[in-house]
Chains A and B, each alone.
Chain A
């Protein structure tokens, strides 16, 4: 697979602010790549450098193997879907979508045809001569998408494009976008602070914090094997238990219990064991725990009914653990103050070496 976009040691400063710090990133051709992180971590700045609206302070940026770090936006085979859509208010939908092709001096007949085809694709042909202000937020969003896609760019950049939509529409658009990306086969680089969105749509996710790219991997990899406290914490709920490395395959919890959990930390180093709430199972104290599972005793101090799941807070020797149990007929429901055993299989635990 060829690299569509490649950032090597890219740094961007705004005066004293280090917005992007020594970023290395390869995005493969045809990939749906998400940049995920909290507000202010440098996602937009990274995207804007790829688009050409900002120039890196240092580092190299190639698009399809060509160095482009300092080229203006109009010279890059890249199009952007802006968070605010940035539709031209003084042009019709049709004129908006055709803008890029007109700038590229495509023949008018071809423009008309491609605009029509793209508007069909986003199901907005019937609004072709409307002005942007006459459209709903979701429709404007689709126009912004069409305006970028009609140019058949090699890379499409999207900066929180669904941020302004309400939840239902956003979820529908997530699937629609993912679908669209697979159909057109264009590389998508997608910026979001919403972990669900990133997990749902992406082939790979890059998690950013404070201008640094902390971890890059597939959604499952990022979710189940976070390599830092930040990533673990940012993506969903997670239980963190302090421990000490014993050898490469096991760690020792505070209560002396030794867990099987592969890791790279040298013996004696303090580490953190991270386990997702849904990977825990609750048992009665007298129940027989299947062999090979680790467990720890505790007391239910809080139970929250969540419709499809019950969330328990269980007080244990390792601190408060959050447990998520499915609301299903064969899953036992525990009352507050009941004694329980929290149990998990070795594969549920990830060791974070902070």
Chain B
């Protein structure tokens, strides 16, 4: 045996492998740290989102006892079958129309406004954005009650229209009131993403379009609008979804005759004490919303 034996090939290989080993250790500890940082949000989401969601899904397959309790036996899809009731379809249709109308009005109002803000000097921009956010400083419920006063039978709107010589306009407890309330409530959710998109706009692209013989309107259609689409999509989703499931606004401003999805679900849980059906409704609304979001994002991504 020599004093310096040839190195064992297995050792050499182990040594060669050691370097990547070190590196993957580093990667692993890095990702461990990442998990640790995200831990609070994971706990929060699990406790307050995933578990309740699971409960809703489970309940939607359960049975309602004659006393209104939910029995977690005899799993069935009866609640889902009820979704095809004409009454449900009518309520869903009305809610969708309202949510679409809210989204379109918000878009029509917000786009010029966001455009205006985005084209100011930075100092003015910040001020105007703060103005958009000011309503959030007071409670949503309080602000909705304020609309009850404004739209009420002796409220400012009725008085002003009367003073102007018209029939006094009394909107409270109508669909118009709900629409006004929803547009008012969700407007900032449309303005902010639109502003974010327009603020990032490279205006030299618009100049390039003008330079290439586009008039102002055409330059907007061909350049500004398509490039602000991500903002339009984000804003529309942010307005459409809460509008579709809105409860507080219709409850405070809407009439008793016109039930919307939000009311209807709440009434299933409370008045009707039919938790399985309420859960099935909730799940259905969520699935539809999720589907809408996916379709919308897909179409947006393709056009960008």
Residues of A within 8 A of B (CB): 51-53, 72-74, 78-80, 82, 84, 86-90, 99-100, 103-104, 147-148, 151
Contacts and interface: CB of A to CB of B under 8 A. Distances in A.
A67 B214 CA distance: 20
14 contacts: A53-B210, A72-B210, A78-B211, A80-B207, A86-B204, A86-B208, A87-B208, A88-B208, A90-B303, A100-B213, A103-B213, A148-B211, A151-B212, A151-B213
Contacts of B208: 80, 82, 86-88, 147
A29 to B, nearest CB: 21
Given A89-B227, A90-B227, A103-B218, A73 B211 contact: yes
A103 B212 contact: yes
B223 interface: yes
A157 to B, nearest CB: 9
A72 B215 contact: yes
A89 B201 CA distance: 11
A84 B203 CA distance: 11
Contacts of B205: 86, 88-89
B202 interface: yes
A52 B226 contact: no
Interface size class of B (residues with CB under 8 A): 20 to 34
A147 B304 contact: no
A103 B207 contact: no
A304 B28 CA distance: 55
A89 to B, nearest CB: 7
Given A86-B202, A86-B204, A88-B205, A80 B211 contact: yes
Contacts of B216: 72
A82 B215 contact: no
Contacts of A52: 210-211
Given A86-B207, A86-B208, A104 B213 contact: yes
Interface in B6-60: none
Chain B CB within 10 Å, residue with most, of A82, A87, A103, A148? A103
A99 B204 contact: no
Contacts of B212: 74, 79, 99-100, 103, 147, 151
Nearest to B210: A73
B251 interface: no
A40 to B, nearest CB: 19
B214 A51 contact: no
Contact of A74 (B215, B226, B227, B304): B215
B266 interface: no
B196 interface: no
A56 B291 CA distance: 54
A79 B223 CA distance: 18
Contacts of A103: 209, 212-214, 218
Chain A CB within 10 Å, residue with most, of B210, B213, B226? B213
A53 B204 CA distance: 10
Nearest to A104: B213
A118 to B, nearest CB: 13
Contacts of B215: 72, 74
Contacts of A51: 207, 211
In order of increasing CB-CB distance, the 5 nearest A-B pairs are: A100-B212, A103-B213, A86-B208, A73-B210, A86-B204
Contacts of B209: 88, 99, 103
Given A82-B208, A90-B304, A74 B223 contact: no
B233 to A, nearest CB: 14
A80 B211 CA distance: 7
Contacts of A86: 202, 204-205, 207-208
Chain B CB within 10 Å, residue with most, of A52, A79, A99? A99
A86 B304 CA distance: 16
A97 to B, nearest CB: 10
Interface string B196-238: 0000001011011111111110100011001100000000000
Nearest to A144: B208
A73 B208 CA distance: 9
B204 A82 contact: yes
Nearest to B218: A103
A301 B207 CA distance: 54
